[in-house]
Amino acid sequence: MRNDNAFSAGYVMGREIGLVVYKVEKDGSLHGLWTIAQNGNGTETLTPK
């Protein structure tokens, strides 16, 4: 799903289901918030080379 400068995706890792939401920054990097079932959550930043 996409909304303005953000998009989300669902994923499966083994038997766990997860969700990630990324915001596209002006420099082209992606700032992400993620969660997977009941086992955790976190953040990540993906930076283009």
Give me the pLDDT at residue 38, please.
78
pTM confidence score: 0.78
Tokens of 49: 């080379």
pLDDT, position 8: 96
pLDDT tens-digit map of 12-30:
988 899 999 999 999 999 9
Residue 1: which pLDDT band, with cuts at 50, 70 and 90?
A: confident
Rounded distance between C-alpha atoms, residue 17 and residue 33, angstroms: 15
Phi-psi region of 28 (alpha: psi -120 to 50; beta: other; left: phi over 0): left
List the strands of the sheet with 6-13, edge to edge. 2-3, 6-13, 16-24, 30-36, 40-46
Domain locations along the chain: 2-46
What band does 34 get if pLDDT is binned at 50, 70 and 90?
A: very high
